[in-house]
Amino acid sequence: MFMEAESCLSDGRNDLPTELARLGLSFHEYLPVDLPGEKGGSAVAEVCLALMDKVAFLDARRAGLHPPAPKSGCGAGGSKCLEVFAESWLREGRQLADVLLENTRENDLAGLRAFFGRGGFGICPDLGHILAYEQGALLTLLAELPMD
């Protein structure tokens, strides 16, 4: 679980012991909540890809990501940053479905419908957020999406 971008980028091998790979567990990565969204989707992808490389020894392919807030200055309700992020992620040979967008207080994901489904981002619905922030629209979205 990488919560802060800068400190996690500076983590060394002692912070991520290789013994973890021998536990027989599967891993996914939780990406930082302080990603540089103000710098655009390519800057966010650069940090995320670097962090994914740090845990490559764990065979972690999936990653939880908080999408930009609609009013983040990221263009078109955050969708412009996600488009650029997706291009960068795919260019590195990764699968977009392995990026699991999580609903947050600022973004219930309902406005990002075009990014989900076959060939798009995955979803990591946070039930606590759905209940706390009254995000019933996300439940409707989940019921309507074609899933593989």
Please give the full DSSP string across 84-138, using - where no structure is assigned: HHHHHHHHTT--GGGEEE---SS--SGGGGGGBSTTSBEE---HHHHHHTT-HHH
Q: Which amino acid is at 2?
A: F
This prediction has a pTM of: 0.89
Are residues 4 and 34 in contact, defined by beta-carbon separation less than 8 angstroms?
Answer: yes
117-142 mean pLDDT: 91
- For residue 35, the one-letter residue type is L
Q: By three-state DSSP, how is residue 15 classified?
A: coil
At residue 126, does pLDDT exceed 70?
yes
Contact (CB, 8 A) for 107 and 76: no
Query: Per residue in 27-81, pLDDT tens?
Result: 999 999 999 888 888 999 999 999 999 999 999 999 999 998 877 767 666 788 8
